[in-house]
Amino acid sequence: MLTKKANLFRIINNIYFKKNEPISLVHFITNRCNARCSFCFIDFENSDSFKDELSLDEINKLTKGLGKSLLNVNLTGGEPFARKDIIDIAKIYLKNTTVQSLYITTNASLPDRIENFAKTINSIDRELDLNFQISIDDLPENHDKVRKVENLFDNCMDAYWRLKKLNLKNVNPVISITVSHENCDDIKNIFDYLILKCKIDSLKCTIVRDEGVYKTPIQKKKKIFESYTWLTNRIQEMTKEKKINNYNLESIQGKIHNKKDKIAWKMIKEMYMEAKFISPCHAGSLFGIITSKGYVYPCEILEETLLGNLRENDMNFMKIWKNNITKNTKKFIIKSKCNCTYECALSFNILGNLRYHPQLIKAAFDRY
Ligand code: SF4
Ligand code: SF4
C-alpha cells in the first residue's frame, strides 16, 4: 500500500517514461562484519574497507534528496546490524523518503538487535513491508565453518523464529540460500534439512556472482548452475503445495511478486552459463547503489563505474543521478546490452519493462 508521501502518477511516469529517479536503492550502511565468508566481495585484509561510514547527519541529508519515486531500500553491508544505529538509519528513511518497503540482508548473528529493530520499526509504520533476508548456505556445522562464526546457524534459526513469532503483518523473515562453489554439491541435503528438520516455510535463493574480490571457480560453474536450477524448481513446486510461503498468494501483490521471481529465475538460467542479453537494464536510472562511504554506483557489478561521491556533492544524490557521468553510463548500459544475473536489478528491470506486464497481470488473477 502506498503511503501519503508517494505519488502514484509520478511513480508510473518515472518507471515507464522518465526513468530519472530511483525506485529502489541498495544502501551498504557498513562494511564491518563478524563473519568471513570466502565468497564475500569485501576486502577484509584492507583496514580502509571499514573506515569513513556515512554518519547519521550525512544520511539525513542524503535521504532528503532521493526524489519522490523511491519505493524500496535494501539496508545491507557487511553485517547491517553491526551498526548500533541501524534503527535510527531506518527511521531517517521513513521520515525523509517515500519508501514502502525495507529489505534487510543479515547474517543473523545478532538476534536481539534484529527482533528489537522489527518491533520498533513496525510500531512506527505498520503498513511498511519489512523483509529480513537471513543468509544460510549450508548445514549447521559447515555454515558456521564457511562463515567462520560460532553458533551462527543456531542464531539464524533463533532470529527467524523470533520474527515469525512476532506474528506481525508485514514483518517477513525469509531464509536466503546463495548457491556457490562451497555448497553446490550438497544443495538437496541443505534444502531438506531446512524444510524438514528446521520447518522453514519462507525460503528463497540466489546464485553467486563475481564481485569485488570474489571470482567463481570456473570448474564449478556447471554444478552451481545445476544446483540452482534444482533449487528454484523445488521452491516453485513447494510454493504450489503451500509448503513454502514467501508471499501471501491470496493477495494481488503477493501473486505479482511470486511471478516476478519466476521470470527472474528463468532469465538467470538463460544467462548464467553463457552471457546473454534478454532485456534492458535500468541500473543507473531506476536502481542504484550507495556504499558505506557514500559512493554512488549503478549496480554492484560495474564497480569501475563510479557515478559520484556524495561527500563531494554536498550529499545531494539527485545531483549525481543527473550528472553527465550517470547520463553516459545509462546510455552505455542500454547501448552495450549490458547483462548479468544480479537479482535486485532484474526485479526492477522486469517491473520497468512492458514486455513482462501481460504475464504479471495474468498472474494477479491466478488461483493457488
Ligand atoms: S556475512 Fe555477508 S558481509 Fe559478512 S563476510 Fe559473509 S558475505 Fe560478507
Ligand atoms: S546488467 Fe548487470 S552489470 Fe549491467 S548495469 Fe545491469 S546490473 Fe549492472
End-to-end CA distance of the chain: 22
Predicted local distance difference test score (pLDDT) of residue 79: 97
Angle formed by the axes of helices 343-351 and 252-271, nearest 10°: 120
* pTM greater than 0.85: yes
Centroid of ligand 1 to alpha carbon of 194 (angstroms): 20
pLDDT by residue (tens digit) across 37-77? 877 888 889 989 999 999 999 999 999 999 889 999 999 99
Q: How confident is the model at residue 2 (pLDDT cuts 50, 70, 90)?
A: very low
Whether the CB of 79 sits within 6 Å of ligand 1: yes
Cα–Cα distance for residue pair 287/348, rounded to 1 Å: 7
Per-residue pLDDT averaged across 223-233, rounded? 96
Instruction: Determine whether the shortest distance from the Cβ of 278 to ligand 1 is under 6 A.
Output: no
Assess whether pLDDT exceeds 70 at residue 212: no
Whose C-alpha lies nearest to ligand 1, atom 2?
A: 78
Q: Strand runs (DSSP E) across the chain, as ranges?
A: 24-28, 72-76, 101-106, 129-135, 171-179, 203-207, 287-290, 295-297, 308-309
* pLDDT tens, residue by residue, 8-36: 888 888 888 888 999 999 999 999 999 99
Report pLDDT for 5: 65
Q: What is the pLDDT of residue 360?
A: 85
CA–CA dist 298, 290 (Å, integer): 9
**Which is the closest atom of ligand 1 to the Cα of 105?**
2
CA distance 114 to 265: 29
Tell whether ligand 1 has an atom less than 6 A from the beta carbon of residue 37. yes
Which amino acid is it at 140? P
- Mean pLDDT, the chain, integer: 91
Percent of the chain with pLDDT over 90: 69
Q: What is the per-residue pLDDT for 205?
A: 95
